[in-house]
Structure 1
């Protein structure tokens, strides 16, 4: 008899926060199992997963209010795709073109989408944010809206 089973049968009523916290632990356990199954060292996996204990509410809030979802295409293009960012992309490509070619060769992912995402997400590494990467990525993966991207074959 588990807490999840009790909740499912209606014997225990849990708040969505408590339920999410319990499922987050199960999610992290599954991530750990998958990572170890892929050959990552137990020490590295455990050290990484110690960096996240519960979904990061600020990450989720910011994720839901990204400009891509709140602006029209014209507004977004005007605000985000600036000539300065395009020039920064050209510079970054000149610097990292060989590395990008290796990534494309290893993954089959074309360089152009990688450059586009890198530019939009971090201005080619200039904006690194103030979030712990493991915590933020685990939160976003757990959130479910990107579940397909965390599938083993991605």
Structure 2
């Protein structure tokens, strides 16, 4: 087996998967090419895979648990994340937190990394951050759910897949 490493990706979530076999584009996996760019190129607004679920092609990048790190990933809003850490108190160990809103904690054993406020910067570092948490031996990765906006669609997709494992 041969593995070529071209170094860090410029975008981080480069690949977009679009199914063009149904008469209308269906966005199977958002990525560097946005929904708006697909619409501009095709002249049609792409549907989501949930809008036409029958016969959705199975490609490696569209599997539900694709991109999962070894540690269990859980997505939660900032308030739920803070509540969970408050309940654990100083006992929080083997847990990593990746969040835009950094929670308060009494634990000195918690691994914390700030998620950028910018969707593009988060996309660029997302997989490196998840792999770094794995390298640090954490068992759980708690991630603040990204905003439900078009700019964050690709990041949300990758995080939902990571949490599905």
Instruction: Determine which structure has the larger helix proportion and give its number.
Output: 1
Greater percentage in strand: 2
With the length of structure 2 as denominator, give the TM-score of the two structures.
Answer: 0.23
TM-score by length of 1: 0.24
Structure of greater Rg: 1
